[in-house]
C-alpha cells in the first residue's frame, strides 16, 4: 500500500489546569488513496484531536504537536509554514466538522460561502464560483440547487445544512476528506443519503475518507479499515471485518457487544446487554505507563498495571495494544 | 401507615397503597370504558397544536404537532415512539405528562380521566407519572446535592411521612447503582451516566406507575448506555414499571420495547408489536427507516436492500391533501396524492411469537 497520508508516532500535548497531558500518545497509521478509514471510541478518546492535528487546526495556545510526523505525499506537515498548511487545507485535505450549525456563517448565503472557498483556493472569478457553487449543491442533492444557493443557513433543514458542509468540503476536490461524526445529529434516513454521497465521491474521485464515529454500525457499513482509540492511544487496528469478527482487544470487544444491534431476524431472546463498567479516564491519567483500560477490563493481569502494552501484530495487519491479545 | 417502598408494584392498587387512601382522582370518563384492565395508559385522538407567527397581516396559523393519535400501553410493558425528527414524539409525551396543553383528545391513566383533574388533584397525581429527560447535564439542579435532587418529588407528597424520606432515598440510590457516599455530591461531580442514574432515581422515588423516557441514553457513550438500559429493564422487572420510551436509536428500541408506534408528521403511520414491526415492517416509511440503520450484523447487511428516500418533507403548515409521506414515498400511487390513508388494523396471521396487533396507514397495505 502506498500511503497518501502517513502519521508517525504522533504525540499531541494539551496544556490543562493540572499540567500537560498527551491527548494523543504515540499514534501511527496510514491512509491510502480511495480508502475509508474509520476512527471509533468513546467520547474524549482523542478522535477529533487526531483530525484537527492533520488539519493543522489544533486549539491555539492549548494544543501542540510534541513529537512525530504527519506526512502528506511525503511532505511533513508538522514542519510546514502556516501559509503552506492553509493551502493544503484548502486544496488537498478538507474536513466536515462535528457541528454543522456552528461551522456555517449565519450572515452569508450558502452560495456566497461556497463561492468564497472557490475564489480563495481555485482563483475562480465571482461568476464562475457562483455557478460552480450551484453545481456542488446539486451534486450533494440539495433540491432546486440554483435557487437554494441564495438561501441562508437557517432556511435549510439540519440534513441540508450538513450537505452544504459536504459541498464546501468538496469544493476543491480534496484528496483526503475527514468527516468528524458527519451524521450524528441527523435522522437515519438522511444519514443514509449522506453515506451514499460519500461512497459515490470515493468511487468517482478516489477521495480517501477518514470517518470518525462512535457507531460500530457505521464502521461496518462504511469503512475498509478501522482504528479504535482509547484515552489518546490506538488500541486496535485492522481490516473492518477482521476486527468485527474477532476483536483482539477487550475494549473493542466491549464496544461491539454493549450495543443492541439490529439483526436480520429478531426473536424473543433478549439477554441483558454486555456491560463495560466504568468510564474513560480523565486527561490527567493519559500518558501513564500502564494500560489505561485496566480499571474497566475483565482480563486484567498484574503486568497491565505497570507497563503500557506494546502493539501485538496479527494476520491481515490487525494490531492490538493489549498484553492479553494472544488469548482473545 | 408505613411505606413499603421496594415491594412489587401490584397493578392498579400501587398508587393507592402508596398514597394511603382510596384513589380520589377517579373522575367519570368521557371515553368508552377501558376494555382491557391491563391497560395503564390510554390515549385517544390526541391533538396538540402550537400557534405559529405568520407575516404582519397574516392570520394566526396553527401547527398540528400531534395530529389525532391513539395508543395504549399495558401495565409493565414498554411502548416506543419512533420517527423522524420533528414528527411529534416529544410533544405527544409532554401532552401525556400535561407539560404541554392538549388541544383535543382523551388521556386515561388507569381509571383516572387524566385531563379532567383539577390543579390540586394533578399536583398529587403527578407522582404517578414521571419523566426522564435526554440531557443529564441540564436537567438536574446544579445547586442541590444528589440526595436532595432525588428527595424533592417526595416533598410534594404529603402522604409519605417525612420520617420515611431518607430511607426511601437511600434505597433508591442503591437501586440505581449509586454508592451511599455519593449522596452528598453535587451534579457536576458526577459523570454523564451517573447523572442519568440520579435522574432515574428521582423519577422513581414517588413510585410512579408510568415513566416517560425521552431519549434517555442518547447523550451517553455506548458503554454507559448499556449500563443505563440494563438498569431500566431491571427496574421495570423489580417494580412492574410501565415505560413510554422515545428513541431515535432503533437498536435501543428493538432491545427495550414490547410494541412500537412509528410517527411521521404528527401521525402514527404504523403501530405493531416488537416482532411484527422489526421482522415485517409494512409502511414504506418504516421500511425505509429500518433499511437505513447501519448494522454490524453481516447477515442483515447482505439480506436487506437499502431504500433511500429522496425529496423534501412537506410544509407542516400547508399539508398535502393525501398521504403526508407521498412526496418522498418510493411506492407512491395516484390515490396517495389525493386521499389521506387511515390507520387501519392489518390482519396478520397469528404467529406464535407475535400478538398480531399491527396497524398501518398506507393505501397499499390492507
Ligand atoms: N480546546 C480544548 N482545550 C482543552 N481540552 C480539549 C480541547 N478540545 C478537546 N479537549 C480535550 O481533549 C480530549 C480529547 O478530545 P477529542 O475532542 O479529541 O475527543 P473525541 O474522541 O473527538 O470525543 P467526542 O466523541 O466527544 O467527539 C478530551 O478530554 C477533551 O476534553
Ligand atoms: N413549544 C413549541 N412551539 C412551537 N412549535 C413547537 C413547539 N414544540 C415543538 N414544536 C414543533 O412541533 C413539531 C414536533 O416537535 P417535537 O419536539 O415533538 O418532535 P420530535 O419528534 O420529538 O423530534 P426530535 O426527534 O427532533 O426530538 C416540530 O415541528 C416542532 O418544531
Ligand atoms: S493490557 Fe491488560 S488491562 Fe489492558 S486491555 Fe489488555 S488485559 Fe485488559
Ligand atoms: Mg469529537
Ligand atoms: Mg424529541
ipTM of the complex: 0.87
Cell of B120: 390540586
pLDDT higher for A260 or B302? A260
Res. B351: pLDDT tops 80: no
**Strand pairing class (A208-212; A225-230):** unpaired
- Is pLDDT of B13 > 60? no
For atom 27 of ligand 1, the residue with the nearest CA is: A43
- Look at B292 and A217 and tell me if their CB atoms are within 8 Å: no
CB B288 within 8 A of CB B282: no
Q: How far apart are CA A189 and CA A167, in angstroms?
A: 19
So what's the pLDDT on residue B34?
A: 44
Q: What nine digits make up the cell of A69?
A: 510526523
Question: B interface mutation test: which of A38, A264, A276, A285 has the most B CBs within 10 A?
Answer: A264
Pick the residue with more confidence: B333 or B353? B333
Over residues A197-246, the pLDDT tens digits come to 888 888 988 999 999 998 999 999 999 999 999 999 999 999 999 999 99
Torsion of CA B164, B166, B172, B178, to 10 degrees: -170
pLDDT(A149) > 80: yes
Residue of A nearest to B229 (CA): A273
Q: Which pLDDT belongs to residue B33?
A: 45
Cα separation, B360 vs B68, in Å, equals 15
- Grid coordinates of A288: 501513564
> Which residues surround the ion ligand 4 when the cut-off is CB under 5 Å?
A 48
Query: Would you state the pLDDT for residue B157?
Result: 78
Q: Which whole number is the average pLDDT over B172-194?
A: 85
CB contact under 8 A, B221 and A192: no
- Residue range A169-192: average pLDDT? 86
B2 has a pLDDT exceeding 70: no
- Which residues, 6+ apart, have CB-to-CB distance to A245 below 8 Å? none
Half-sphere exposure (CA, 13 Å, Cβ side) for B338?
3
Contacts of A256 in chain B (CB under 8 A): 296
CA atoms within 13 Å, Cβ hemisphere of B277: 29
What percent of chain A is predicted at pLDDT more than 90? 59
Instruction: Give the pLDDT confidence score for residue B349 in this predicted structure.
Output: 57
Has residue A165 got a pLDDT over 90? Answer: no
Comparing A79 with B138, which gets the higher pLDDT?
Answer: A79
Q: What is the pLDDT of residue B29?
A: 37
Give CA angle at B172 (B166, B178), nearest 5°: 110
Q: Do B227 and A215 lie within an 8 Å CB cutoff?
A: no
- As a whole number, the mean pLDDT across chain B is 84
Residue B6 confidence (pLDDT)? 39
The pLDDT tens digits for A186-199 are: 788 888 888 888 88
Residue B296 with chain A: CB contacts under 8 Å: 216-217, 219-220, 244, 256, 259, 261
Tell me the CA–centroid distance for residue A295 and ligand 1, in Å.
21
Average pLDDT over residues B269-296: 94
Q: What is the mean pLDDT of chain A?
A: 90
| Averaged pLDDT, B7-28 | 37
Minimum-distance ligand 1 atom for the alpha carbon of A282: 29
- The pLDDT of residue B35: 57
Separation between Cα atoms, residue A40 and residue A215, nearest integer Å: 7
Q: Residue B115 burial (CB < 10 Å; 0-12/13-18/19+)? A: middle
Tell me which residue has cell 412492574: B240
Residue to test with chain B: of A44, A140, A188, A293, most B Cβ within 10 A: A188
pLDDT the model gives residue B3: 41
| Nearest CA distance, A141 vs chain B (angstrom) | 9
Q: To test the ligand 2 pocket, which listed residue (B47, B53, B83, B89) has its Cβ within 8 A of the most ligand atoms?
A: B89
CB–CB contact B310 A267 (8 Å): no
Closest CA to B264 of B88, B100, B142: B88
Please identify among residues 181-200 of chain B the ones whose CB lies closer than 8 Å to any CB of chain A.
191, 193
Q: Are residues A196 and B311, on separate chains, in Cβ contact within 8 Å?
A: no
In this complex, do A221 and B301 lie within 8 Å of one another by their Cβ atoms? yes
Distance A54 CA to ligand 4 centre (A): 14
pLDDT for residue A298 is more than 90: yes
Most confident of A274-278, B17-21, B254-258, B351-355: B254-258
Model pLDDT, residue A161 = 84
- Intra-chain end-to-end CA distance of chain A, in Å: 28
The answer to whether residues A258 and A274 touch, using CB atoms and an 8 Å cutoff, is: yes
pLDDT tens digits, A47-58: 999 999 999 888
Q: For residue B336, is pLDDT > 90?
A: yes
Substitution site in B91, B219, B253, B268 for ligand 2 pocket (most atoms within 8 Å of beta carbon): B91
pLDDT range class, residue B14, cuts 50, 70, 90: very low
Contact present, B216 and B257 (Cβ < 8 Å): no
| Region of poorest pLDDT, from A89-93, A298-302, B136-140 | B136-140
Helix (H) / strand (E) element for B70: namely: strand B61-74
8 A C-beta contact, residue A228 and residue A251: yes
Please indicate whether, in this complex, the C-beta atoms of B230 and A273 are within 8 angstroms of each other.
yes
Q: Are B274 and B260 in contact (CB under 8 A)?
A: yes
pTM value is: 0.87
Question: What strands, in cross-sheet order, belong to the sheet with B344-345?
Answer: B129-132, B210-214, B242-246, B78-83, B259-264, B267-273, B358-360, B344-345
Beta carbons of B307 and B329 less than 8 angstroms apart: no
Q: Is the pLDDT of residue A21 over 60?
A: yes
Q: What confidence tier does A293 reach under pLDDT thresholds 50, 70, 90?
A: very high
Q: In this structure, which residue's CA is closest to atom 3 in ligand 3? A: A294
Rounded Cα distance, A100 and A185, in Å: 9
Work out the minimum CA distance from B78 to partner chain A, whole angstroms.
Answer: 14
Most confident of the ranges A223-227, B220-224, B317-321? A223-227
Please give the Cα distance from B27 to B204 (Å, whole number).
Answer: 25
pLDDT at B4: 41
Q: In whole angstroms, what is the distance from residue A223 CA to residue A38 CA?
A: 6
Q: In chain A, what percentage of residues exceed pLDDT 70? A: 98
Partner A contacted by B292 (CB < 8 A): yes
Query: Does residue B30 register a pLDDT over 60?
Result: no
Instruction: Say what the pLDDT of residue B60 is.
Output: 78
Report yes or no: B352 at the A interface, CB cutoff 8 Å. no
Q: Which residues contact B39 (CB under 8 A, 6 or more apart)?
A: B72, B73, B74, B75
pLDDT of the residue at A1: 54
Pairing relation of β-strands B259-264 and B267-273?
Answer: antiparallel
In chain A, beta strands by DSSP E? 3-16, 19-32, 36-40, 63-72, 75-76, 93-96, 176-180, 208-212, 225-230, 233-239, 312-313, 319-320
Pocket of ligand 1 (CB under 6 A): A 14, 23, 41, 43-49, 59, 62, 214, 283
Asked if residue B134 has its Cβ within 6 Å of ligand 2, the reply is no
Reported as a single tens digit per residue, the pLDDT across A92-129 is: 999 988 765 567 888 999 999 999 989 988 889 999 99
The strand pairing partners of B55, in sequence order, are none
Ligand 2 neighbourhood includes B90 CB (under 6 angstroms): yes
The pLDDT value given to residue A233:
97
Closest ligand 3 atom, residue A235 Cα: 5
Instruction: Using pLDDT thresholds of 50, 70 and 90, give the confidence band for residue A59.
Output: confident
CA distances from B92 to B134, B263, B340, B349, B362 (A): 15, 10, 21, 31, 22
- Residues B307-324 have a mean pLDDT of 82
Tell me how far the alpha carbon of residue B156 lies from the centroid of ligand 4, in angstroms: 42
Higher pLDDT, B255 or A142: B255
Give the distance (Å) from ligand 4 centre to CA of residue A230: 13
pLDDT band at A38 (very low <50, low <70, confident <90, very high): very high
Q: What pLDDT shows up at residue B135?
A: 74
- Structure confidence at residue B314 (pLDDT): 77
Cβ(B316)–Cβ(B91) below 8 Å: no
Q: What is the pLDDT of residues B35-73, one digit of tens each?
A: 577 999 999 999 999 988 766 666 778 899 999 999 999
Dist. CA B353–CA B355, nearest whole Å: 7
Do A261 and B275 count as a contact with CB atoms less than 8 A apart? no
Query: Residue B188's closest CA among B250, B143, B151, B153?
Result: B143
Q: Tell me if B308 and A192 make a contact (CB, 8 A cut-off).
A: yes
Amino acid at each position: 500500500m502506498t500511503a497518501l497520508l502517513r502519521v508517525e508516532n504522533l504525540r499531541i500535548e494539551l496544556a490543562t489546569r493540572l499540567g500537560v497531558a498527551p491527548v494523543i500518545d504515540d499514534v501511527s497509521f496510514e491512509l491510502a488513496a480511495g480508502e475509508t478509514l474509520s476512527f471509533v471510541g468513546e467520547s474524549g478518546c482523542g478522535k477529533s484531536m487526531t483530525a484537527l492535528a492533520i488539519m493543522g487546526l489544533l486549539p491555539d495556545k492549548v494544543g501542540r504537536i510534541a513529537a512525530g510526523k504527519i506526512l502528506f505525499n511525503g511532505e511533513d506537515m508538522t514542519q510546514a509554514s502556516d501559509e503552506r498548511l492553509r493551502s493544503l487545507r484548502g486544496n488537498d485535505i478538507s474536513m466536515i466538522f462535528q457541528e454543522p450549525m456552528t461551522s456555517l456563517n449565519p450572515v452569508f448565503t450558502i452560495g456566497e460561502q461556497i463561492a468564497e472557498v472557490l475564489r480563495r483556493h481555485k482563483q475562480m472569478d465571482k461568476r464562475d464560483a457562483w455557478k460552480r457553487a450551484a453545481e456542488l449543491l446539486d451534486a450533494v442533492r440539495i433540491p432546486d440547487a440554483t435557487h437554494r444557493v441564495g438561501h441562508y443557513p437557517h432556511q435549510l433543514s439540519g440534513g441540508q445544512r450538513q450537505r452544504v458542509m459536504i459541498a464546501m468540503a468538496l469544493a476543491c476536490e480534496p484528496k483526503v476528506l475527514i468527516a468528524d461524526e458527519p451524521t450524528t445529529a441527523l435522522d437515519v434516513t438522511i444519514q443514509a443519503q449522506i453515506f451514499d454521497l460519500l461512497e459515490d465521491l470515493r468511487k468517482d474521485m478516489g477521495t480517501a475518507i477518514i470517518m470518525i464515529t462512535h457507531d460500530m454500525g457505521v464502521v461496518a457499513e462504511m469503512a475498509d479499515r478501522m482504528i479504535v482509540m482509547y484515552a489518546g492511544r490506538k488500541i486496535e487496528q485492522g481490516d473492518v471485518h477482521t476486527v468485527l469478527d474477532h476483536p483482539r482487544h477487550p475494549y473493542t470487544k466491549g464496544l461491539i457487544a454493549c450495543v443492541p444491534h439490529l439483526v436480520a431476524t429478531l426473536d424473543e431472546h433478549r439477554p441483558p446487554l454486555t456491560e463495560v463498567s466504568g468510564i474513560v479516564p480523565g486527561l490527567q491519567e493519559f500518558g501513564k505507563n500502564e494500560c489505561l483500560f485496566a480499571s474497566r477490563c475483565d482480563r486484567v493481569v498484574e503486568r497491565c498495571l505497570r507497563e503500557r502494552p506494546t502493539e501485538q501484530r496479527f494476520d491481515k495487519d490487525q494490531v492490538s495494544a493489549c498484553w492479553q491479545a494472544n488469548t482473545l | 401507615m408505613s411505606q413499603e417502598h421496594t415491594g412489587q408494584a401490584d397493578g392498579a392498587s400501587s398508587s393507592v397503597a402508596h398514597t394511603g387512601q382510596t384513589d380520589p382522582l377517579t373522575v367519570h370518563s368521557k371515553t368508552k370504558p377501558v376494555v382491557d384492565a391491563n391497560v395503564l395508559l390510554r390515549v385517544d385522538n390526541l391533538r396538540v397544536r402550537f400557534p405559529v407567527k405568520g407575516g404582519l397581516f397574516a392570520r394566526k396559523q396553527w401547527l398540528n404537532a400531534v395530529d389525532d393519535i391513539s395508543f395504549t400501553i399495558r401495565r409493565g410493558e414498554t411502548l416506543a415512539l419512533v420517527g423522524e425528527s420533528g414528527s411529534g414524539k416529544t410533544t405527544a409525551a409532554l401532552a401525556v405528562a400535561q407539560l404541554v396543553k392538549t388541544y383535543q383528545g382523551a388521556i386515561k391513566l388507569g381509571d383516572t380521566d387524566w385531563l379532567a383533574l383539577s390543579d390540586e388533584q394533578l399536583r398529587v397525581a403527578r407522582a404517578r407519572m414521571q419523566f426522564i429527560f435526554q440531557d443529564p447535564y441540564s436537567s438536574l439542579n446544579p445547586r442541590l446535592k444528589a440526595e436532595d435532587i432525588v428527595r424533592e418529588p417526595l416533598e410534594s407528597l404529603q402522604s409519605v411521612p417525612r420520617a420515611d424520606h431518607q430511607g426511601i432515598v437511600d434505597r433508591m440510590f442503591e437501586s440505581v447503582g449509586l454508592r451511599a457516599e455519593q449522596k452528598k455530591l453535587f451534579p457536576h461531580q458526577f459523570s454523564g451516566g451517573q447523572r442519568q442514574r440520579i435522574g432515574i432515581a428521582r423519577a422513581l422515588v414517588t413510585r410512579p406507575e408510568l415513566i416517560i423516557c425521552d431519549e434517555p441514553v442518547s447523550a451517553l457513550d455506548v458503554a454507559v448506555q448499556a449500563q443505563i438500559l440494563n438498569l431500566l429493564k431491571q427496574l421495570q422487572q423489580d417494580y412492574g414499571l410501565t415505560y413510554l420510551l422515545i428513541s431515535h436509536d432503533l437498536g435501543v428500541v428493538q432491545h427495550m420495547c414490547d410494541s412500537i408506534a412509528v410517527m411521521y408528521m404528527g401521525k402514527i403511520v404504523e403501530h405493531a408489536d416488537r416482532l411484527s414491526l422489526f421482522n415485517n415492517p409494512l409502511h414504506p416509511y418504516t421500511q425505509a427507516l429500518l433499511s437505513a440503520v447501519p448494522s454490524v450484523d453481516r447477515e442483515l447487511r447482505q439480506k436487506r436492500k437499502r431504500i433511500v428516500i429522496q425529496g423534501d418533507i412537506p410544509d407542516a403548515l400547508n399539508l398535502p391533501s393525501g398521504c403526508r409521506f407521498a412526496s418522498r414515498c418510493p411506492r407512491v400511487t395516484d390515490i396517495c396524492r389525493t386521499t389521506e390513508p387511515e390507520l387501519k388494523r392489518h390482519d396478520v396471521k397469528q404467529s406464535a411469537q407475535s400478538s398480531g396487533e399491527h396497524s398501518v396507514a398506507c393505501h397499499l397495505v390492507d
